[in-house]
Amino acid sequence: MNFGEDYGKVVTIVDIADASRVLVQGENFPRVIYPLKRLTLTKHKVPIQRGARGGTLLKAAKKIDLAGKWAASPIAKKMAQRTTRARLTDLERFQVMINRKKRSLAIRKKVKASAPKPSAAKKVISKKK
């Protein structure tokens, strides 16, 4: 889900209602018709028949470890990071800022040390007249 109070919940498309709405169901989400605009499709696929019952869907999702695959996906990691950062206290935000500055300084020092030094000898360009 990419919008509203259900943001971040993982659901599976069970059936297609029409061109803009689908029937969805999740592990902790009831079976409802939802607009496609509020869904973000991923590459994770549950092998079920169209219109499968809830129990069949849950068994198939557990069989392929859908929750584990979702947790390992970049989208889920980014959402978890965003939630973690939203819950930080002032002190923790300050510590994050200091650590970012230290990391940036270390990277700049490494880049500067590994950069090739300019040659002492200069090329002389002769002009033809």
Q: Mean pLDDT by 10-residue block, N- to C-terminus, for the chain (129 residues)?
A: 88 95 94 94 92 93 93 92 94 97 97 80 63
Domain boundaries, the chain: 4-72
Provide the β-strand partners of residue 33: 23
**pLDDT for the residue 116:** 80
Please give the pLDDT value at position 36: 94
Structure token pair of residue 55:
């129990």
The b-or-e profile of 33-60 (16+ CB within 10 A means b, else e) is ebebeebeeeeeebebeeebeeeebbeb
The model's pTM is 0.67
The DSSP bridge pattern shows strands 12-16 and 29-35 to be unpaired
pLDDT value of position 123: 62
Residues paired with 32 in a beta bridge = 24
Residue 54 is encoded by which pair of tokens? Answer: 């809830």
CATH code matching the domain that covers 4-72, chosen among 3.30.420.40, 1.20.272.10, 1.10.3720.10, 2.30.30.30:
2.30.30.30
Contact of 12 with 24, CB cutoff 8 Å: yes
- The pLDDT, as a whole number, for residue 37 is 94
Q: What is residue 109's predicted lDDT score, i.e. its pLDDT?
A: 95
pLDDT score, position 122: 60
Instruction: Compute the distance between CA of residue 53 and CA of residue 129 in angstroms, rounded to an integer.
Output: 89
